[in-house]
Structure 1
Amino acid sequence: MAKKFVVVDLETTGNSPKKGDRIIQFAAVVIENGKITEEFSSLVNPLQPIPAFIEELTGLRDSDVRDAPLFQEIAGKVSSLLKGAYFVAHNVLFDLGFLQEELLMAGEEAFSGPVIDTVELARFMEPEADSYKLADLAEKEGLSHDRPHQADSDAYVTAELFLLYLDRIGKLPEKVLNQLASLANGLKSDLNLLLHAIALGKTPEANLPDTLVTVNGIVLKKQFETIIFDKDGANHLIYPFSVEEKLGLIRNSAASLEPRTGQFEMMDEVFHSFENGTHALIEAGTGIGKSLGYLLPAAYFAKANQTRVVISTHTIQLQQQLLEKEIPLLERIVPFPVKSALLKGRNNYISLGKFAKSLEEENDNYDTALAKMQILVWLTRTVHGDKDELNLSSGGLLYWNTIRNEKDGLPVSIAWQEYDFYNRARKNAANADLLITNHALILSDLEADGAVLPEYNYAVLDEGHHFEKAAGMHFGVRVDYLGARLAIGHFGLFEQKQLFYKAEKAIRALPLREKVIPQLKLNELVAGTIVEMDEFFRLAVSYAARRGNKSPSKRLKVRISESRNRNEWEALKNAASRFSFCLKDLHSAANAMLSAVKGLNPKESSGLAGSLVAFLAEIEALRTSIGSFFTSGHGFVKWIETDLRASQNTTGLISAPVSVANEISDEFFMVKKSVVLTSATLTVNNSFRFSLDGLGIDPSYVNLLSIPSPFDYRENVKLFISTDLPEINSVPQGEYIAEIAGRIISICDAARGRLLVLFTSHDMLKKTYELVKESGLLSEYALIAQGITGGSRSRLTRSFQKYEKAVLFGTNSFWEGIDIPGEGLSCLIVVRLPFSPPDEPFTKAKCELIEQRGGRPFSEYSLPEAVLRFKQGFGRLIRTGTDRGAIVVFDKRLGESSYGKAFLDSIPPVSIKKAGIVEVIDEIERWL
């Protein structure tokens, strides 16, 4: 494809040329005939000071551009480079808009040729990428990018990425290229021209690669054969009980593993529990290698007994780690083949029939068109068809809800049945030795009478400290504004008209037509339902705002008391009744339309019927949730969550059981032969009592084992307890936060960055982060804050690891699950001991329940819950045997209160020092 592309990048004094911002650096890389033929870059004098934050971002200072040419001096060169070319940039509208203004001011003609946005290009060519930032894409592709946010470096790496994507586009089948080119008409840049040009140069797809197959017009990666359960030769397997046998397995595998006595101890306990049909709680300290500690005995037991063992996790990240790292390691160690499979909930998988039908629809909005393009490319690569593999926008997720796999009772063509990802996942699950799933699906399986997972009697619950809370969410109910809005909005205006007009003839032939047709005015019904929905959630927000008016935070969690707030409760209940009544009418109308649609030609109606069935299911689920919220009574706690800054998208009404011990015990632990529950945090002060009570397990029928970490904490960790920070309630909040910010700055300097700061309140995190940033005293450090700098927990963690000097501010989920080994993290600050606020709805209800039976709420619930969370936070610092680090706890209750000992006795033995901040800083500086 003989085309000229010019890849451009700019650095500027700000975001708006209309407000007087100017270019400070221009760079261009010319690509012709698939090769880089020319590079040009120049600093530019903007005739104005470079703002401090731009200096920090780019490293460019006023002194660098003082003697540089004005833009008008290089404008002629820029115009000549762009002549007859495609304009290519990463986030092209920004660079093009800025450059157009500068060209016009310099007396040159504005660029009028085609433009290509490499962000859009990356989104559909790399649909599985975690991030579409230039630096992240470059790292993913192994490209050198040594000076991010400098135009010449950014332009060159963008050009390299562009060439990579061009090569990959050229290898796509002609069918996929034509589909992409058609959908690209809805994109913001001119990728449709590029895709059409490449498609024209392709030979007909007679030579489709052996790895791909075309089914009903969709190109798919060929699927592996379903695994077959091999029952031959299994009974002779003997589990390696002795240390020598285990060491022999490791040596024979050539796996670079260090022998760990704690891991061997865990293996034996898991195997004994399965053999004897008993449950077990195993606390495995950091560095034990607990994944292999349960996988190896589970594999031996499953194989020898011709059964399956279910491995359940709480997070997707651990599932991926098991599949991509731990199970391949296991396969190298054991002397027999291990069949593993992953099974998630049905809605996680794509329905190929619905997707193919959706490709026939036109008038896509931007997000839908881009999502379709992502999925077309993804289907040529995926063997799982799992949504979690994709990086979809929020609009793309809306579209996914229309093509996800659902139990809708509609006939599926034979061609699709063979390639249905969910059915294949279920077949693999039924034939696996080790079946990996998640806590939510295990709990769903209890209520579905075993219809979700294949039959099993043995399970390992990893991240087991989350199982009780997962059960609370499962047995409870949540009604949130965003979910309700998405369910009702599932039926877009265009789709309604399409359905109505296509079904019109069939509708007229129905009996009682006069009664049916008014019901089919879905536009009016949807609009009326939205009015009632808005009123219902408005009342909920109003209730929360009044009850939470003493809180300085805009994020509110307010308990609903039916007896104390009778009038408000009745008003909310009446609004819910009107909302539910509208949903019922909407359901009836959609159901009538479904009857009409089924009278159409099957080929024409299948996609329409599928959309209606999905819509009906969502509306019915919403009605059921609303009803459950208001009818759940004794033993349940109800509350409203909202953020007053954006109440529509953040408001939810939650009803949860105060205790799930009886349900978990009766429906799960009493039914299964052996369940091993493991985590790094199951004991409080060397006792499993808190975990056992929450799970409803009788200590007489469970094996308990706590295996300490093999790491030398006393040698490698110093824990400092601050003694001179004022009590939080003794000074104004602003003064307290100023003290915290000052200490973080000082400790950061002493530790030279690599600092993780854990908060218990997002509002305190936000205010502290802003104060530290505004001070300018850590300008050379990357300051990364949860909920502020954007991105998921894993994305923020990766950003933190990229910088030599960085501070990561986190709360809630950052107390656990992030893994930063080695020098990536050298200092941890715990701002407050992680007690749940006493007025937090669930905590308050839990404490009331304990009080009613004559117990002690603080020692039985509040303290052990905080200790387990503290242990999780403590575990972030040391991830390998060679790690060293310091922990600073600002909360002096740890060293002064009677209950502080419970925290300290629950972590590994470490060097502890109580000191003022000056002494703490000196010690850290000397030690690190």
Structure 2
Amino acid sequence: MVANFCDVCGSLLNPATGRCPRCFSGPSRPSPPKTARSSQSIAKQGHGLFPYEPRPFQLEIVDAIRNALDSGKHIIMESGTGTGKTVCSLVGTLEHSRPRKKKIIYLTRTVSQSDQVMKELRTIARNNKITGIAVAGRMKSCLLQKQEGMRDVPPAVMARICEDRKARTIANERGGCPYYADFLAIGELAFTQHCFANLPTVGEFDRFCEKQGACPYEARKAIMPMAEIIAVPYIHLLSEDIRNNLFDRLKLEGGDFTVIVDEAHNLIDAARDQESFSISVFDLDSVLVEIREMGNSFLKNHISIQDVCLVLKEIIETAVKELIPARANDARLGRRFLEGRLRQELGLSGEDLDNLCFSMIDRGEKILEDRMDSGKEPVSHILRLGSNLRSWIASSDSIYLKTISADSGGMLVAACLEPNEIAQFLKGTGGAVHMSGTLKPLRQYADLLELTPISELREFPSPFPSTNRLTLYTEDVSAGQREMKEDPSMKARIESYIIDICNATDRNTMVFFRSYEMLKSMRYSIETEIDRKLYWEESGNSYKLANAIEAFKTHKDGVFFTVMGGKIAEGLDFPGQELDIAVIVGIPYPPPTLVGEELKRRYDQKYGPGTGWEYVSAAPAVRKMQQALGRLIRTETDKGAAVILDSRVSRYCSQLDAKPTKDPVKDITDFLGWSRRF
């Protein structure tokens, strides 16, 4: 008898059923719905995995992805609304990866994006055997955290708690984790079968595990090595520690996987944020409180942790007073500023300073262990300070901009300028897919990640009729800070435009401001003059925002006020009559910062004069406007109109497909075929 093995996990198949007893893969799948094209029909075009009747450009995108990956290149692509980026990237990458037995790591910025991945996998799976899982971090999935109120515990500390609780569970000791115990009792097979049979979203899988009383995080860890496609948040690749743990669990090396980066325009900023760090007066005060509770410790040359904190506080507070100019919030620091001051004040050599940091880290780790053993909250501010101080000393001035900030009572900030860690990782993958609906200029993305020599840049337009969207801009107002300051009447004229447009119809309208400050400054006038149901995005209240969005979508007669670059402007869909008109107030240029100015200088020097402004200011602003405009047309039958209240947008007409207007209300109502309300 010839043995048959599962081509997903390698286990021996059940000869009676042909199914895998470990991962539940098998030959049978539910019949495809009527909306899906038959696998035989698509197979004639060589794309047996593609589950739909293809729209224009979709199979071209699949081919472009597969061909680029086959040649060891990175494909960096912008594809418009309706091109089906998720399903095209999955199919194209599968066509490359499957013959090579490579896993696919799909990077997403939000849980809702990973949900879309799983939904597309379900569609593909109707005609083809496919296995995948959407991964969430411990902080989102740990039932113990929810039960014991440990939501504010740092991730590294929670990992230590988890390992300790699991060890106690395995040893049958008190203080173990009941959810891990139930996971062990049920066994990983049940969870693997459920996952591969249903391809659940993050929330669906969490709820399934919770009903069993089992830990979703541990269940995912067990399933991941057997999955063909793993959808993970950005942090799983941006954090070196998390990435190493992920790859160890998956048993992956350089050529064993292919990466898809979704919403790639966010990746570089996310990488910079991940590699940046700070030391604040607030942090130091927390260390002093910990010292009073846990005791002081001497580190080197009779210097104590308390001594280090007090010296650091004095250095920071003095720098805030002496170095930050009037009406500014921060200032650049000279090379080795902090190291020089610490060595001078504490009488240490460079080697002594390194050893002092390691001693603080050792003391902090001991405090963690003691607090865990005594059942207290497992956190150590000393550990964090020692780690950040060590990182500051080790960081290169060629990669980081070091500043003093007045925030948090005074703060030393090491801002990453060049995210070399993720750039080096991506260059070693042998090719990846980087995609977004708003990624131009593509050369910028390739340049900043040092992928230009090994990348292919592609643009794919939306298959939806361009005539379905009208984009206008006014020539007599500008919402720039300088222009509004020079002309006191400008604010009232912009408000008048907003009020007239919103009162002209009873169709869902969304107003996008360049900043929360501008939104707040105009709110009173707008609220008193617009005769519609009004909704407002208020930062920091996710539950209230979700309810407002749902009400806006449901009633279809309101006006929603939000900001460009916010939660609504990117990632949310408003198909059909859920959104008909968009008003954009101002161009969302990033505010001037020391980091931005340094990046402009470096880019001008490295890529040519003017490149700095294009990369740091113009491109991000246009991208945010494109994202806001993209909310209008989400299906091939949608029709919508937009007005940009800023004459400066004339320089971006070709990118935004915008034309001037003298009467936006008339042009909008004529285009949409409506009569005015008033």
Q: If the length of structure 2 is used for normalisation, what is the TM-score? A: 0.72
1:712: Cα distance to partner?
1.1
Any conservation in 2 of the 1:302–1:434 contact (CA below 8 Å)?
no
The amino acid that maps onto 1:634 is S
The SS at the match of 2:470 is strand
Using a 3 Å threshold, how does the CA distance of structure 1 residues 258 and 690 change in structure 2: closer, same or farther?
same
The amino acid that maps onto 2:598 is A
| Structure 2 match to 1:667 | 425
Q: Deviations over 1:565-615 (max 9, x none)?
A: 989x9699979x9x99999998676666678x6xxxxxxx9x526758x43
Match of 2:600 among 842, 847, 867: 847
1:319: Cα distance to partner?
1.5
Using a 3 Å threshold, how does the CA distance of structure 1 residues 232 and 859 change in structure 2: closer, same or farther?
same
Match of 1:638 among 379, 402, 414: 402
Any conservation in 2 of the 1:295–1:330 contact (CA below 8 Å)?
no
Choose 1 or 2 for highest CA Rg.
1
The amino acid that maps onto 2:260 is V
Q: Deviations over 1:671-714 (max 9, x none)?
A: 11221111112223xxx222211221134x3233211101112x
Asked whether 1:737 is paired with 2:500, we answer no
1:743: Cα distance to partner?
1.7
Separation in structure 2 between the aligned mates of residue 397 and residue 709 of structure 1, nearest angstrom: 42
Using a 3 Å threshold, how does the CA distance of structure 1 residues 860 and 444 change in structure 2: closer, same or farther?
closer
1:308: Cα distance to partner?
1.0
Any conservation in 2 of the 1:311–1:434 contact (CA below 8 Å)?
yes
The within-5 A match list for 1:595-744 is: 607-608=372-373, 614-616=378-380, 619-629=382-392, 632=395, 633-639=397-403, 653-660=412-419, 663-669=421-427, 671-684=428-441, 688-699=442-453, 701-713=454-466, 715-725=467-477, 728=480, 729-732=482-485, 735-744=489-498
| Structure 1 match to 2:100 | 305
Match of 1:275 among 70, 74, 85: 70
The within-5 A match list for 1:15-164 is: none
| Structure 2 match to 1:413 | 169
1:464: Cα distance to partner?
1.3
Asked whether 1:920 is paired with 2:664, we answer yes
Any conservation in 1 of the 2:80–2:461 contact (CA below 8 Å)?
yes
1:921: Cα distance to partner?
1.8
The SS at the match of 1:261 is coil
If asked which structure has higher relative contact order (CA below 8 Å, sep 6+), I would say 2
The within-5 A match list for 1:743-754 is: 743-752=497-506, 754=508
Using a 3 Å threshold, how does the CA distance of structure 1 residues 793 and 473 change in structure 2: closer, same or farther?
farther
Separation in structure 2 between the aligned mates of residue 811 and residue 827 of structure 1, nearest angstrom: 15
The amino acid that maps onto 1:760 is R
Any conservation in 1 of the 2:426–2:432 contact (CA below 8 Å)?
no
Separation in structure 1 between the aligned mates of residue 103 and residue 661 of structure 2, nearest angstrom: 54
The within-5 A match list for 1:705-854 is: 705-713=458-466, 715-725=467-477, 728=480, 729-732=482-485, 735-752=489-506, 754-773=508-527, 776-778=528-530, 780-787=532-539, 791=543, 794=546, 796-803=548-555, 804-814=557-567, 815-837=569-591, 839-853=592-606
The SS at the match of 2:529 is coil
Gaps spanning 5+ residues in structure 1: where? 1-224, 234-238, 356-370, 376-394, 501-516, 551-555, 598-604
The SS at the match of 1:783 is strand
Any conservation in 2 of the 1:741–1:772 contact (CA below 8 Å)?
yes
Separation in structure 1 between the aligned mates of residue 287 and residue 223 of structure 2, nearest angstrom: 32
Using a 3 Å threshold, how does the CA distance of structure 1 residues 868 and 726 change in structure 2: closer, same or farther?
closer
Separation in structure 2 between the aligned mates of residue 783 and residue 587 of structure 1, nearest angstrom: 49
Separation in structure 2 between the aligned mates of residue 288 and residue 904 of structure 1, nearest angstrom: 23
Any conservation in 2 of the 1:285–1:708 contact (CA below 8 Å)?
yes
Using a 3 Å threshold, how does the CA distance of structure 1 residues 261 and 817 change in structure 2: closer, same or farther?
same
| Structure 2 match to 1:443 | 238
The within-5 A match list for 1:550-569 is: 558-562=330-334
Any conservation in 1 of the 2:581–2:642 contact (CA below 8 Å)?
yes
Match of 2:620 among 865, 875, 882: 865
1:630: Cα distance to partner?
5.8
1:314: Cα distance to partner?
1.8
1:543: Cα distance to partner?
7.6
The SS at the match of 1:413 is helix
Any conservation in 1 of the 2:76–2:455 contact (CA below 8 Å)?
yes
Separation in structure 1 between the aligned mates of residue 510 and residue 108 of structure 2, nearest angstrom: 25
| Structure 1 match to 2:301 | none
| Structure 2 match to 1:329 | 123
Match of 1:549 among 314, 317, 327: 327
Q: Deviations over 1:224-248 (max 9, x none)?
A: x996497999xxxxx9898564699
Using a 3 Å threshold, how does the CA distance of structure 1 residues 462 and 566 change in structure 2: closer, same or farther?
closer
Any conservation in 2 of the 1:784–1:800 contact (CA below 8 Å)?
no
1:462: Cα distance to partner?
1.0
1:833: Cα distance to partner?
2.1
| Structure 2 match to 1:318 | 113
The SS at the match of 2:68 is helix
Percent identity, please: 20
Using a 3 Å threshold, how does the CA distance of structure 1 residues 349 and 482 change in structure 2: closer, same or farther?
farther
Any conservation in 1 of the 2:332–2:403 contact (CA below 8 Å)?
yes
Using a 3 Å threshold, how does the CA distance of structure 1 residues 518 and 893 change in structure 2: closer, same or farther?
closer
What's the C-alpha RMSD, in Å, of the aligned pairs? Answer: 4.7
Q: If the length of structure 1 is used for normalisation, what is the TM-score? A: 0.54
Any conservation in 2 of the 1:741–1:769 contact (CA below 8 Å)?
no
Any conservation in 2 of the 1:797–1:818 contact (CA below 8 Å)?
no
Q: Deviations over 1:105-138 (max 9, x none)?
A: xxxxxxxxxxxxxxxxxxxxxxxxxxxxxxxxxx
The SS at the match of 1:681 is coil
Separation in structure 2 between the aligned mates of residue 533 and residue 464 of structure 1, nearest angstrom: 38
The SS at the match of 2:439 is coil
The amino acid that maps onto 1:657 is C
Any conservation in 1 of the 2:258–2:431 contact (CA below 8 Å)?
yes
Separation in structure 2 between the aligned mates of residue 732 and residue 629 of structure 1, nearest angstrom: 40
The SS at the match of 2:231 is strand
Separation in structure 2 between the aligned mates of residue 811 and residue 620 of structure 1, nearest angstrom: 38
Separation in structure 2 between the aligned mates of residue 635 and residue 706 of structure 1, nearest angstrom: 31
Separation in structure 2 between the aligned mates of residue 320 and residue 536 of structure 1, nearest angstrom: 48
Any conservation in 2 of the 1:821–1:880 contact (CA below 8 Å)?
yes
Using a 3 Å threshold, how does the CA distance of structure 1 residues 622 and 259 change in structure 2: closer, same or farther?
same
Deviates further, 784-793 or 797-806: 784-793
| Structure 2 match to 1:885 | 640
Pairs aligned (count): 581
The SS at the match of 1:906 is helix
The SS at the match of 2:391 is helix
Separation in structure 2 between the aligned mates of residue 424 and residue 441 of structure 1, nearest angstrom: 17
The amino acid that maps onto 1:637 is L
Separation in structure 1 between the aligned mates of residue 334 and residue 21 of structure 2, nearest angstrom: 53
Any conservation in 2 of the 1:833–1:866 contact (CA below 8 Å)?
yes
1:794: Cα distance to partner?
5.0
Any conservation in 1 of the 2:86–2:116 contact (CA below 8 Å)?
no
Gaps spanning 5+ residues in structure 2: where? 1-19, 29-37, 173-179, 185-213, 299-303, 673-678
